[in-house]
Amino acid sequence: MVEGIRVISTQQIEQMLPTGQVKSVYRAHVETDLGAQGILIVSAENWNVPDLAIALAKKRDELDLAFVAVAAD
């Protein structure tokens, strides 16, 4: 789907908003090819291939930033 990042596990959860409303979201535990790990939270409305691909690519770039910065030095 997206090069350089893989989804380890996912959970569908109900997230409480500051207004007291409840929103359905997915929490994906991810790991990049460089070894960085993180959590990506995506709303149920955006849990589809096109939107998820964009979110995963952004998360990969964010997580790998530390590795790229160190390699550049």
pLDDT at 68: 76
Buried b (16+ CB within 10 A) or exposed e, 26-65: bebebebeeebeeebebeeeebeeeebeebbeebbeebbe
Q: What is the pTM of this model?
A: 0.83
Mean pLDDT by 10 residues, the chain (73 residues): 94 95 97 96 95 96 84 56
pLDDT at 71: 58
pLDDT at 72: 57
Q: Which residue has the tokens 């998820």?
A: 52
Domain of 42 in residue numbering reads as 5-72
pLDDT at 3: 95
Total domains in the chain come to 1
Q: Edge-to-edge strand order for the sheet containing 37-43?
A: 5-16, 22-32, 37-43
Cα 69 to chain center, whole Å?
A: 20
